[in-house]
Copies of this chain bind each other. A is one copy, B any other.
Amino acid sequence: MESVSLHCTKCHKPFRADQAVFRCDACNEPLEAEEISKGRIREGNMLNQTIWERYGDFFPFLESGFKISLGEGFTPLAESRALAESLGMQGIYFKNESQNPTWSFKDRGTSAGIMHAKGLGYKRIGTVSTGNMATSVAAYGTASGMETFVLVSKGISQEKINPIAIYNPHLIKVDGDYGELYFESLRIGKENDIYFVNSDAPMRVEGSKTIAYEICEQLGFDMPDYVIVPTSAGGNIRGIEKGFREFRACGLIDRAPKIICAQALGCSPIYAAYKNGSEEISRAEDPHTIAHAIENPYPPSGNRVLKLLRQNGGISAAVSDEEILKAQALMAGEGIFGQPASAVPLAVVIKLKAEGILKGNEKIVCIVTGSGLKYTAALEMHELKSSECKLKELGNFIKNL
């Protein structure tokens, strides 16, 4: 563990990775593990290999000690030729993160975070979330025998709580400003020996690197032009960008793809700052979008994401709920049913193509962050079709369709 250090993404102040630190005590910006610039893929039969083994060179801080894997990662990259053709694009690929153990990308970072926490001697793990991350931490917490704390807001419905509660964590409904809870949890965690693996914790960012690594392998190291990431707190997009950056530093790829930070117009603080040319995000007022999974009015890694977009040549874009629903249906037409947030990248492709920002000769990877089954209420906003007939008339009914 000595070989790795963390640093502040803003002031570059160094921190040691052999302790649980999440944000800079000087400027309150998120920390990041140092970039790995020497490493290779460890080939092997992936049915007998975890992502942590295959990409072990890129996770020196997880090398020794406790291992936890429920089979996260190694998710498919599905090419949709029909869709690319109809949209006039060179190539459209969906990285389907809904095929993780708790059906979202969160499992990668949760696994990394718990391994790090256990390595530091922690017996308690926690998170602040009401969605994918809560489910993921509850599942991996119990699977690794840790006492698990999931903090949700008081107003959450029983329907939303149930798929978290089945894993039997300490599930605490907190009455108060939910926005404060992210920062408050870090303080409480320190006092109570709970490692809070929140949305943009450094190890969660590290976990998301594996999405980039897999895309490189899946495309035969022939990089796409853009990778589009639905963005909330900013942890996932940071990890994906870092993954490509590291593979490039290691000489495994010639160039990194440009990253597109995709948000919903109803809650788009990063997009707003990007558009204004600001280096700092402002809190989004009155957030409301069907893409609940990315409805974060004040992303704790927002400033870091703005900076990496500038460094990477990436951009930000935002789409309306109507565009999101349309893209969700279009993606389902390719056999992939993502939650509304996961349809945001495809909606962005359509929008940027219409605006001429995408020319049509690009190859694009859309990150499908979680399963459509996570939020079935969104289905009620679609015009879904069915018909009805009597069994004895079925043959004729089908003939006349």
Contact = CB atoms under 8 A, between A and B. Distances in A.
B82 A175 contact: no
A48 B170 CA distance: 40
Interface stretch (A24-32, A94-102, A256-264, A279-287): A94-102
Nearest to A100: B99
Given A99-B99, A159-B376, A166-B382, A177 B391 contact: yes
A118 to B, nearest CB: 14
Nearest to A220: B48
In the complex, which range does the number of interface residues on chain A fall in?
Answer: 35 or more
A99 B78 CA distance: 15
A397 interface: yes
A355 interface: no
Contact of A174 (B159, B385, B394): B394
A69 B81 CA distance: 13
A328 to B, nearest CB: 8
A329 B138 CA distance: 13
Nearest to A50: B76
A36 to B, nearest CB: 20
Given A142-B333, A335-B70, A386 B163 contact: no
A212 interface: no
A139 B335 contact: yes
A145 B103 contact: no
A122 interface: no
A47 B46 contact: yes
Contacts of A371: 103, 371, 373
Nearest to A161: B386
A391 B183 CA distance: 12
Interface in A15-57: 43, 45-48
Given A70-B78, A218-B48, A373-B374, A333 B167 contact: yes
Specify how many copies of this chain sit in the oligomer: 2
A175 B334 contact: no
Contacts of A387: 170-173
A396 to B, nearest CB: 10
Contacts of A176: 390-392
A85 B34 CA distance: 40
A329 to B, nearest CB: 7
B337 A167 contact: yes
B103 A386 contact: no
Contacts of A120: none
Contacts of A71: 75-78, 96, 99
A384 interface: yes
Given A168-B333, A335-B140, A384 B103 contact: no
Given A192-B395, A374-B373, A398-B188, A172 B46 contact: no
Interface of A: 43, 45-48, 69-71, 74-78, 82, 96, 98-103, 139-140, 142-143, 145, 149, 151-152, 154, 159, 161-163, 165-168, 170-177, 180-181, 184, 187-188, 191-192, 194, 214, 217-218, 220, 328-329, 332-337, 371-374, 376, 379-380, 382, 384-392, 394-395, 397-399, 401
Given A177-B391, A181-B391, 11 more contacts: A103-B103, A166-B332, A166-B337, A167-B332, A172-B387, A172-B397, A174-B388, A174-B390, A175-B389, A188-B394, A188-B395
